[in-house]
Chain A
Amino acid sequence: MARSIAFREALREAMSEEMRRDDRVFLMGEEVAEYNGAYKVSQGMLAEFGPKRVIDTPIAELGFAGIAVGAAQNGLRPIVEFMTWNFAVLALDQILNTASKMLAMSGGQIGCPIVFRGPNGSAGQLGAQHSTAFESYYANIPGIKVISPSNPYDAKGLMKAAIRDEDPVMFMESEVMYGDKGEVPEEEYIIEIGKADVKKQGSDVTIVSYNKMMKVALGAAAELEKEGVSAEVVDLRTIRPLDWHTILESVKKTNRLVIVEEQWPMCSVSSEIAYRIQKEAFDYLDAPIRRLTAADAPLHYAPNLVEAALPSVDKTVRLVKEVMYMKK
């Protein structure tokens, strides 16, 4: 039976189910316990699991990430909540230099099964220091996995997979999606990490996106439909490992590719996709691969500057028309 629940509830269900299933799983982070979560993702979890397994930390991202990374090496399976991935930069040393490299450095002896999760990217007028999208940063790192889901169903299934995974997993959410509702079955399910999902079938152009930019992609596809353009929309869901085969199959059908994401343009997720598809599908392409990213600048505060800097439905529709060689 499916029911409609919010994104934050889907994440909470995933964590709670896994904590009931496996005593080694615990949640730590700022405000996760007594405050019930800065964004209420962990609401009620302290009451169910107690302070041993739902742990408030001081504001010390490097330190508590380090402790969690050590605990993961010694038989536990931590879930670390960052209040935002912007703060997690302070913990990057632990993620990059320890968690991601443990298995390799130890010659396969010591792994690090751990989930780092929290909201990521822009969320309105939060200013420059609370608005960075970090998927491309972490996707660059061998040894870890990066998940960035777009709806409650995917979030729950992928979170459960992340907690059961034997490697460090970065799980990117969004402040502005926690209230989004979506159908989620009552029955247990897991979504395999590393599999993209075609969210809308189409024949004229492929739009690839992920996380909250999927709303832009799907919104643009709906607009284009009105003008007789059939767009196929691929939701990456996992950024690393990248399921480029699904994109390739779509491009072989549509012969056109537009990527919509919230990263800065240099060395972004779209950079890698564009490289891969030109290599694998050169003869299938009827137009250059194009993309929409965040502007090549820190995100400013003013509402019109936020709008100007980020991808939108209108911008996506215009770009698709360009690759379709249509009149604008």
Chain B
Amino acid sequence: MASKFSKETYLYWYELMLLIRQFELAAEEKYKMEGKIRGFFHAYVGQEAIAAGVMTATRQEDPFVTAYRDHGLALAKGMSPESCMAELYGKATGCAKGKGGSMHFFGKKEYFFGGHGIVGAQIGTGAGLAFAEKYKGTDNVSLTFFGDGAARQGILHEVFNMAMTWKLPAIFICENNNYAMGTSVTRTSNVHDIFKLADAYEMPADSVDGMSAEAVHDAISRAVKRAREGGGPTLLEIKTYRYKGHSISDPQKYRTKEEVEEYKQRDPIQLVLNTIQKNKYATKDEIAAIDKRVNDKVAAAVKFAEESPFPTEDEVLKDIVMTPDYPFIVD
């Protein structure tokens, strides 16, 4: 059966998803084996179909904001693997000059507003980005990503209420990977279907298969169309799964190996590749060429990060305020 998506779309999805995965695996290795990356580190492995689906359903000027599991969406928005890897290394050439780290990737020119470390706080930012687009009279929409854990924060409810009242062009995307760190989504509320939280505000909502780039694209497209036309926000609960722990230091005793394996059987990248192969969108050699291109990009990013300098120490008191000659307290 011919797909409703083009060959180019599938090839784009495949290459983007593979880039995200290979980037994460390379970074994890540099963290665990060589200690060149430190701090909290949350991998996007397993959730790549979300990044793929949202990218083909939106445009560059649509601002994105997410939480600390931010590498995948930053790469999807077009931030260079070099600047992202360098940020993980804490280097001056990083996307936040080595001041952000894993949790705080930013790319203003790519319309990527971070990279936030307080669970749920970026939901306010995301609605604010949408508020500004509406105020300025554009038809851009904001995409706000958060996890299932954040769905239990008060700010979500305050912001949903205002976003609906003011019909903000905001898409709220709950990447439900089943676990708020180590706590199952079924243990944090009586309401296990997070998309139902939107009902309290009469906000349109849907549950989406997050292992399918097609399903993500379709759901986001519907929500984006409504938002661009002035119809206001949407909540999408995208059911996904992270193969890795909450963070790099997570022993994952709250779930079984069998459960992880079960999800890996529906690996989102493999699903896209299957469609490519079935429809003969690419030959074996062409796929191998993509794989090589991705691996080369990641290797180049690692090399770039390794060879880049750390920030100079005078950066401690830079980028704190915009005022020139600000009188910092120095003893």
Contacts and interface: CB of A to CB of B under 8 A. Distances in A.
A198 interface: no
A109 B106 contact: yes
Interface string A104-147: 11111111010000000000000000000000000000110100
Given A58-B162, A62-B158, A71 B106 contact: no
Interface in B86-117: 94-100, 104, 106-108, 113-117
A103 B320 CA distance: 6
A110 to B, nearest CB: 6
Interface in B281-331: 318-323, 326-327, 329, 331
Contacts of B133: 74
A69 B106 contact: no
Given A62-B154, A93-B118, A103-B320, A67 B124 contact: yes
Contacts of A103: 319-322
Contacts of B132: 70-71, 73-76
B331 A279 contact: yes
A93 B121 contact: yes
A57 interface: yes
B161 interface: yes
A71 to B, nearest CB: 4
B126 interface: yes
Among A52, A68, A70, max chain B CB count under 10 A is at A70
A106 B114 contact: yes
A69 B63 CA distance: 14
Interface in A63-95: 63-76, 93-94
A320 to B, nearest CB: 28
B140 to A, nearest CB: 9
B136 interface: yes
B155 A107 contact: no
A67 B154 contact: no
A241 interface: yes
A40 B279 CA distance: 68
A66 B124 contact: yes
Contacts of A93: 118, 121
B162 A105 contact: no
- Max chain A C-beta neighbours (<10 A), residue from B104, B107, B322: B322
Contacts of A167: 321-323
A98 interface: yes
A284 to B, nearest CB: 19
Contact of A94 (B104, B121, B161): B121
A194 interface: yes
A109 B128 contact: no
Contacts of A63: 124, 155, 157-159, 161-162
9 contacts: A66-B159, A70-B129, A70-B142, A71-B129, A76-B131, A104-B319, A108-B319, A145-B321, A167-B323
- Top 6 nearest A-B pairs (CB, nearest first) are A66-B124, A70-B128, A63-B158, A107-B97, A166-B322, A74-B132
Given A62-B124, A98-B124, A105-B100, 6 more contacts: A58-B158, A60-B162, A65-B124, A109-B96, A110-B114, A167-B323
Interface of A: 26, 52, 57-58, 60, 62-76, 93-94, 97-98, 102-111, 113, 142-143, 145, 165-167, 193-194, 241-242, 279
